[in-house]
Amino acid sequence: MREYSFKDVESKWQKKWSDESTYKTENSVEGKENYYVLEMLPYPSGKLHVGHARNYTIGDVIARYKRMKGFNVLHPMGWDSFGLPAENAAIQNGAHPAIWTKSNIDNMRRQLKLIGLSYDWDREIASYLPEYYKWNQWIFKKMYEKGLVYKKKSTVNWCPDCQTVLANEQVEDGMCWRHSKTPVIQKDLEQWFFKITEYADELLTGHKELKDGWPEKVLTMQKNWIGKSFGTEINFTVVETGEKLPVFTTRIDTIFGVTYAVIAPEHPLVNEIMKTNPSIKEAVLNMKNTDMIERTAEGKEKNGIETGYYVINPVNGEKLPLWIGDYVLMNYGTGAVMAVPTHDERDFAFAKKYNLDLKVVINPVDKKTKEEIVISPENMENAFVGTGIMTNSGEFNGLSSKEALGKIAEFVEEKGYGERTTKYRLKDWGVSRQRYWGTPIPALYCEKCGVVMEKDENLPVTLPTDVEFSGNGNPLETSESFKHAVCPVCGGEARRDTDTMDTFVDSSWYFLRYCDPKNTDLPFAKEIVDGWTPVDQYIGGIEHAVMHLLYSRFFTKVLRDLGLLKSNEPFKRLLTQGMVLGPSYYSPKQNKFLYPSQVTMKGDQAFDSETGEELQVKIEKMSKSKNNGVDPEEMIEKYGADTTRLFIMFAAPPEKELEWNENGLAGAYRFLSKIWRMILENKEEIEHGTINYDNLTKEDKKVVRKLHQTIKKVTESIEDNYHFNTSIAAIMELINEVQEFKTNILDVEKGSSESKKVFTEAMTKIVVMLSPFAPHFAGELWEEMGGNGEIEEQPWPEHVEALTISEEVAIAVQVNGKVRGTLEVDRNISKEDLEKLALDLENVKKHIEDKTVAKVIIVPNKIVNIVVK
């Protein structure tokens, strides 16, 4: 028997798949339904990590399973290859970003093939190639023509390290998402925007279509990010200028309790205030440069600046102080809030900090007596934010606050003070970036024609090569050949826009390009993309909930409205895989994390191999900074791709965190080796043919039953929730039973032809069910067993329900309700025969001796209870 050499097996099948284009997919196959499975495309950093391996293996298992279920499966791969890391590498190493990017793609493609992933490489895309980003520019133009793209001056998030604008979603705890120690500042710049707010309502209502296929947490995150609020916009009047100050509130029932107003530091009125009160300029600037997410973070102390200005409350004429507050944002509502400290926790904390007035306008109601409880500001330790009875509110006194909400809104509208309206937290998507390595924006500026878009026939506007990568400012500004152009309208001199697009544009529609990647006339043909979309199963991290996943939904709806596809949503089902965790080893003395290779383990304790210092061990997310990452290529070199895949799928359900454990890899390798030996050591027992179920022994039937139970369980675990771990566990149980059958029956009794067929049937089905998880291994064993055709062509096994049910049942035999024995009997046994067998049990005889049997109660296929006196 030849030993299991995973290196030989895996290289053989990978070469075969490549040479024969095994996974090349046609856009339609007669008699087969299309199924599109996709993992989020990677940024080509140059090297795969374990998180990549997990993500892509999940998708590959689904793709292989669906092929065996008879679907025509599209499973492509590409590269999200624009972005700052390539440009930074150019700055540091002097290599052009394209060279760095291509080299990284080549290496990562090689690594993906080592894992045995069944991609159709003929459909590979890379967003840095002109043939791809041409269509970013074409779509940009179409959106501009439709009024969904505009340019305006706005306050933007600016990363001093990146020297570029960041979307709100790219700011994390006040820091740049790529530079975790770089505070983001605010800057006013002319920017291009996508009008995503035009689709805010549909992005919310579309959740109904997704609720059965997307994680609830992702939908909730999107809902909160879009932030739809119903309320009233009411106009206060600024005393010093006479101008209106519109305020949006969802609690118009508290309007009579306003004791001050607050505006955002970015509010236009602030510039006017600073002219008369220049001493506040520095404080305002500091406030503006604080990240917006940090400013509004729950639990963070709110800061204010007294302006010396006042506003008039229109409903009661009260004169109120106006403050500037860091917790008020210009990009939500109107950039101004009415403060009711007695009925809002944030306002209460602010008022207490700055000793501002409090006024109660809603009293709570006693739950038992239903009577009003009068509260006074002096005794309040917290704001009362519940519902109750109106007080200090003029004609609305005595009403319930719920009723007053509508009544006061009507009053405000009748008096002309304001109107009911809907606001969104979501703001338009700023897509301008002051970097080189991205899609050039296809806009030009002509003195005669103004802003114009490049002609379709001149697309793509390609990136120039005569640029300087200094790390300061926008590299495209240094290219004279790029900046100077011809106006596509009048033919005169024009200047190109030197900004590039946010790289999230590239990934907002890439899944559509896979459907028709060689099309040179359009980004994709409608009839082709309609045959594949929406993507049936999408796999990627939850961290993309309010960036990529929201932008992809927006793009899909826009492209639908442009007549380019029919789908409303990009992805029918979404699986967000859990993180991969591993042990980190921290040295307090050296104040650094050590690599696993520098650590010696003694039981559960870890020590620095060089100094002997005991280290702090923690299981946490794998990262470069903690030195606790695992190179999947090293694992493949040591254990093989199939073992690595099997361990990844077995260690945890895909949506849960996976704790990396090399002992688990060793266990997966032993399991595969066990199956290998069972087949290659027993090839003489392999006998293909139709099983005659009438001629099976009791032991044969037991194996057949377990086989069909396993097929059922494996299939249901995959179909219901992708719990591949329970699928693999079921196959392991089956292997143990088949091995016992082989040892006790085939080896000892030299089993009959039917027993050999049962053994063959069980091992054949095991190999087929393992194929999605360990494809090289399964392909080799299928060949060894003399299977017809390739294993990829085999249909997924189907269980026969009747064969999952045992012909025998275990019956508990009781005497006066206490179990005194059990019987293994045919499930169709008569009551008379069952009673006789029960009474004949030795232990039963002992307990009914010298007693009279009053009656025998039989619960079919479960219990016999003998009642004695």
Structure tokens at 447: 């003195």
CA distances from 720 to 256, 386, 693, 717, 724 (A): 55, 42, 31, 6, 10
pLDDT range class, residue 172, cuts 50, 70, 90: confident
Instruction: Report the alpha-carbon distance of residue 645 to residue 669 in Å, rounded.
Output: 10
Per-domain residue ranges of the chain: 6-127+515-576, 140-195+428-501, 228-424, 580-651, 660-804, 808-868
Considering only CA atoms, give the Rg of the chain: 35
Q: Which residues pair with 78 in a beta bridge?
A: 125
The 10s digit of each residue's pLDDT in 317-370 is: 999 999 999 999 887 889 999 999 999 999 999 999 999 999 999 999 999 999
CATH fit for domain 660-804, picks 1.10.730.10, 3.40.50.2300, 1.10.1740.10, 3.40.50.620: 1.10.730.10
pLDDT at 167 over 70: no
Looking at residue 182, what is its pLDDT?
86
The CATH code that applies to domain 808-868 is 3.10.20.590
Mean pLDDT of the chain: 94
pTM for the model stands at 0.88
Q: Is 823 helix (H, G, I), strand (E, B) or coil?
A: strand
Instruction: Report the alpha-carbon distance of residue 688 to residue 363 in Å, rounded.
Output: 83
**DSSP letter string over 513-575?**
HTTSTT-SSSSS-HHHHHHH-SEEEEE--GGGTTTHHHHHHHHHHHHHHTTS---S-SEEEEE
Q: What is the mean pLDDT of residues 837-847?
A: 93
Asked if 648 contacts 640 with a C-beta cutoff of 8 angstroms, the reply is no
Q: What is the mean pLDDT of residues 844-857?
A: 92
pLDDT range class, residue 168, cuts 50, 70, 90: low
**Closest by Cα among 868, 853, 863, 866 to 823:** 863
Does the annotation flag 624 for ligand binding?
A: yes
Q: How many CB atoms lie within 10 A of CB 652?
A: 19
The 10s digit of each residue's pLDDT in 679-708 is: 999 888 888 889 998 889 989 999 999 999
Looking at residue 169, what is its pLDDT?
59
β pairing state of 599-602 and 500-501: unpaired
Q: What is the mean pLDDT of residues 268-272?
A: 94
pLDDT at 149 over 80: yes
Asked if 489 contacts 482 with a C-beta cutoff of 8 angstroms, the reply is no
Which CATH topology does 6-127+515-576 take? Rossmann fold (3.40.50)
Neighbour-count burial of 381, counting CB atoms closer than 10 A to its CB (0-12 exposed, 13-18 middle, 19+ buried): exposed
pLDDT range class, residue 174, cuts 50, 70, 90: confident
β pairing state of 571-575 and 535-539: parallel
Q: What is the mean pLDDT of residues 515-528?
A: 98
Report the share of the chain in percent with pLDDT over 90: 81
Which CATH topology does 228-424 take? Isoleucyl-tRNA Synthetase; domain 2 (3.90.740)
Say whether domain 580-651 belongs to CATH 2.30.40.10: no
The 10s digit of each residue's pLDDT in 725-761 is: 999 999 999 999 999 999 988 877 776 789 999 999 9
CA 430 distance to own-chain centroid: 23
Neighbour-count burial of 273, counting CB atoms closer than 10 A to its CB (0-12 exposed, 13-18 middle, 19+ buried): buried
Q: Is 818 helix (H, G, I), strand (E, B) or coil?
A: strand
Instruction: Report the alpha-carbon distance of residue 476 to residue 136 in Å, rounded.
Output: 18
C-alpha atoms less than 13 angstroms from C-alpha of 79 in its C-beta half-sphere: 27
Instruction: Report the alpha-carbon distance of residue 700 to residue 758 in Å, rounded.
Output: 7
For 138, the enclosing helix (H) or strand (E) is helix 130-145
